[in-house]
Amino acid sequence: MLKAKNELPEDLDQQETHEWVEALQQIIEEAGPDRARFILNKLADKAYLMGVGNPVKLTTPYVNTIPVEEEVPYPGDREIERRIKSLCRWNAMVMVVRANKYDDGIGGHISTYASLANLTEVGFNHFFHASHGDQPGDLMYFQGHASPGVYARAYLEGRLSDKHLENFRHELREDPGLSSYPHPWLMPGFWNFPTVSMGLGPINSIYQARFMRYLENRGLIPVTNRKIWTFVGDGESDEPETLGSITLASREKLDNLIWVVNCNLQRLDGPVRGNGSIIQELEGIFRGAGWNVIKVLWGDDWDRLLAKDASGKLMRRMSECVDGEYQNFKAKGGAYVRKEFFGKYPELLELVADMTDQQLAKLRRGGHDPSKVYNAYKRATEHTGQPTVILAKTIKGYGLGEAGEGRNITHQQKKLNEQETESFRAASTFLFRTQPRRPCPSTARPPIASR
């Protein structure tokens, strides 16, 4: 019988297996991980010399790279930051919906930033550095389709006016407007680099990081801790330019380069890897190319379940599921998750017996958990000797609900009706807590949330 993609061979001697695992655990506890790694490498070499095939394994289990016990506490005020994020997500949505209401077909994207909001907000609040005095700032390559979210943030900071947002995608009007995508020629002083041409942002960020290191090494500019941050879509990774020079980054030891891949599992017209796992594929590619890889797959809601799972079936189930299944789990609700995800093994059903379907539906993915993202960014900024890629699992159209959350049509979603707008607002619980709830009729413009 053929084995499933991630299924392990049957364990013919569980006692012997247990003894080997117990011995490894003892080495780690008494001599540390470096000694354990040395022993494993010696065993692998010996197995190869004795003719035992040792398949190349460049991927790790389908869980977070950073263990819970190694996480540091989140330093920010989660309530304030969540409110700011909700305001940004709302204004980004309104900007696109309003533009398409009065100029049918003008375009724009809601769902990309909806999935990316937490990843950028944690960065803005705690990691991205602007120029200050004689200290140069970080350089940013933003995911092009997420531009409405960056505009929404700038509006709350007072850098953009109501007129700017009303003229989204009308940068050539007499009144001030906003370019469709990041473009420093159209908006000098706002965008660092043009990025929306698929793949050109990622490859240019590599050469930017290399050029900066070249200048530092020759004393032409001072050595600083400035970083080049690059936000990449998982579908964008299929563009030849995106991955075409990643070995250059590791060969040059560009630890000033950090990529954040927004793995919402969807591209412009459907799944990125419906019958596979884009996260595992990218992990293997980047590890093979010599990058430091950090996976942020599961929010803290999952930590309790993983800690309770004595059978190991939860981690196994996480690895078994393909991306198309993960899309269904988000789009079809908690009862479906209970049946199709946890229901495959009796041990998993028992694991979530005390949880409601609503709680199962709300289990967060790692890219939407500020603490998980913060720890990943912290580790990336402190890592030396290699470029870092963070593979963050998110939901495309996060918060859109029936209007497109996790659905194939969500990338092209540019208009919301009254009910969908109300649903989006309800999902942002901190958004209008100081204002009376009022409907947004389809004949009126949805209000921009004021500063």
Angstrom distance (rounded) from CA 177 to CA 103:
14
Phi, psi of 104 (to 5 degrees): -55, 125
- Write the pLDDT tens digit of every residue in 147-179: 999 999 999 999 999 888 888 888 777 777 888
Angstrom distance (rounded) from CA 86 to CA 92:
10
DSSP 169: T
**The pLDDT value given to residue 450:** 43
Q: Token pair for residue 122?
A: 């944690």
Domain definitions of the chain by residue range: 17-55, 69-300+364-427
377 with 390: CB under 8 angstroms? yes
Phi, psi of 130 (to 5 degrees): -85, 165
Angstrom distance (rounded) from CA 211 to CA 220:
11
Query: Which sign, positive or negative, has the C-alpha torsion 337, 342, 346, 352?
Result: negative
- DSSP string spanning 274-309? TTS-HHHHHHHHHHHTT-EEEEE-B-THHHHHHHH-
- DSSP string spanning 173-198? SSS--B-SS--TTTSTTT-SS---ST
- Greater confidence (106 vs 145) lies with 145
Angstrom distance (rounded) from CA 176 to CA 171:
7
- Mean pLDDT value across residues 263-283: 91
User: Mean pLDDT lowest for which of 190-199, 229-238, 405-414?
Assistant: 405-414
- Mean pLDDT value across residues 360-386: 96
CATH for 69-300+364-427?
3.40.50.970
**The pLDDT value given to residue 357:** 96
**The pLDDT value given to residue 55:** 67
Q: For the chain, how many residues are written? A: 451
For residue 405, is pLDDT > 70? Answer: no
Q: Give the model's confidence band at 225: pLDDT under 50 very low, under 70 low, under 90 confident, else very high.
A: very high
Angstrom distance (rounded) from CA 377 to CA 311:
31
CA-closest candidate to residue 339, choices 328, 177, 313, 57:
328
Per cent of the chain over pLDDT 70 is 86
Torsion of CA 235, 236, 241, 247, to 10 degrees: -70
Angstrom distance (rounded) from CA 17 to CA 267:
42
- Mean pLDDT value across residues 235-251: 94
Only one residue has tokens 């943030």, namely 153
- Greater confidence (325 vs 424) lies with 325
User: Mean pLDDT lowest for which of 11-25, 320-334, 435-449?
Assistant: 435-449
pTM of the predicted structure, to 2 decimals = 0.85
Count CA atoms closer than 13 A to 255's CA, side-chain side: 13
Query: Which sign, positive or negative, has the C-alpha torsion 48, 49, 51, 52?
Result: negative
**The pLDDT value given to residue 434:** 42
**The pLDDT value given to residue 8:** 54
Task: Count CB-CB contacts under 10 A for residue 172.
Answer: 9
**The pLDDT value given to residue 189:** 86
Burial of 252 (0-12, 13-18, 19+ CB in 10 A): middle
SS3 state at 230: strand
Angstrom distance (rounded) from CA 254 to CA 231:
17
User: Mean pLDDT lowest for which of 163-167, 401-405, 441-445?
Assistant: 441-445
334 with 357: CB under 8 angstroms? yes
**The pLDDT value given to residue 429:** 52
For residue 48, is pLDDT > 90? Answer: no
Angstrom distance (rounded) from CA 352 to CA 358:
12
For the chain, the distance separating the N- and C-terminal CA atoms, rounded to the nearest angstrom, is 62
